[in-house]
């Protein structure tokens, strides 16, 4: 297959870095066949075609699910609340809406939600010793929704970016810093959800300034 054909294929599948494309082309050129048995090659080609057809069907089904989910979310009374979160977009807004649900009596406090979601760590004690560990038993989709959204919010929220930077400056790993940020976001989201109030970044920043928080400058 010609280099230009392969290059067009890579770019059509969202691979645009010239260095990466060049490396792939060189690897293809230097590759040697593992087998030359035509029976094996013919059977493998049929299998690849069958798997590709299955993948196309699956991708089509996923797109249909996405369309249905998006349409359904737009009819939910709380969808606008979740889209007001910085960086949520339609994907995280839908995931967080699903994680929270509609029953506002389900959790009596943000602490209950933190424990249920698995974002709150577990503190164990034995004698005079104590240690903190990951919460093993929790709904993984709910935890990942909050944690992954927190990671995305760093790009869109001034205070979230400052909080993440402060955690990293303390020596925490990226994942630990994002989980700590998710802990704070759950408290905010729970409050907005309970009061049916859209999130307002400017209003929250002003509250932080009045409290003298180090996450925002004293004047801005």
> How confident is the model over 92-114, as pLDDT tens digits?
999 999 999 999 999 999 999 99
Collect all residues with Cβ–Cβ distance below 8 Å to 111 and sequence separation of at least 6: 120
What is the model's pLDDT at position 108? 93
Task: Tell whether the model's pLDDT for residue 207 goes beyond 60.
Answer: yes
Interacting residues of 215 by C-beta distance below 8 A, sequence separation 6+: 159, 162, 163, 166, 208
Band (pLDDT 50/70/90 cuts) for residue 217 is confident
pTM: 0.76
At residue 219, does pLDDT exceed 50? no
pLDDT (average), residues 153-182: 95
Of 2-11, 97-106, 165-174, 197-206, the poorest mean pLDDT is in 2-11
Structure-model confidence comparison of residues 34 and 61, the more confident one: 61
Please tell me the least confidently modeled range out of 5-14, 39-48, 120-129, 189-198: 120-129
pLDDT of 148 over the 50 cut: yes
pLDDT of residue 60: 95
* Confidence grade of residue 29 (pLDDT, cut at 50, 70, 90): confident
**Mean of pLDDT over the chain:** 91
User: pLDDT tens digits for 67-85?
Assistant: 999 899 999 999 999 999 9
- Render pLDDT for 32-42 as a digit per residue (tens, 0 to 9): 988 989 999 99
**At 218, is the pLDDT very low, low, confident or very high (cuts 50, 70, 90)?**
low
């Amino acid at each position: 297959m010609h280099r230009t054909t392969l290059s067009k294929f890579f770019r059509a599948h969202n691979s645009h870095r010239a260095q990466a494309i060049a490396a792939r082309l060189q690897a293809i050129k230097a590759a040697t066949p593992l087998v030359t048995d035509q029976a094996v090659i013919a059977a493998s080609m049929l299998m690849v075609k069958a798997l590709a057809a299955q993948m196309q069907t699956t991708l089509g089904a996923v797109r249909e699910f996405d369309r249905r989910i998006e349409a359904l979310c737009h009819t939910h009374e709380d969808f606008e609340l979740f889209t007001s979160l910085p960086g949520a977009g339609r994907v995280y807004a839908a995931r967080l809406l699903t994680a929270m649900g509609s029953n506002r009596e389900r959790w009596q406090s943000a602490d209950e939600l933190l424990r249920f979601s698995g974002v709150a760590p577990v503190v164990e004690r034995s004698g005079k010793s104590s240690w903190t560990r990951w919460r093993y038993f929790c709904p993984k989709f709910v935890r990942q929704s909050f944690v992954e959204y927190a990671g995305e919010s760093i790009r869109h929220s001034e205070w979230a970016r400052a909080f993440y930077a402060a955690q990293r400056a303390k020596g925490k790993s990226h994942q630990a810093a994002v989980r700590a940020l998710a802990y704070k976001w759950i408290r905010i989201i729970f409050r907005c959800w309970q009061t049916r109030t859209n999130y307002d970044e400017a209003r929250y920043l002003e509250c932080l300034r009045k409290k003298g928080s180090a996450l925002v400058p004293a004047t801005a």
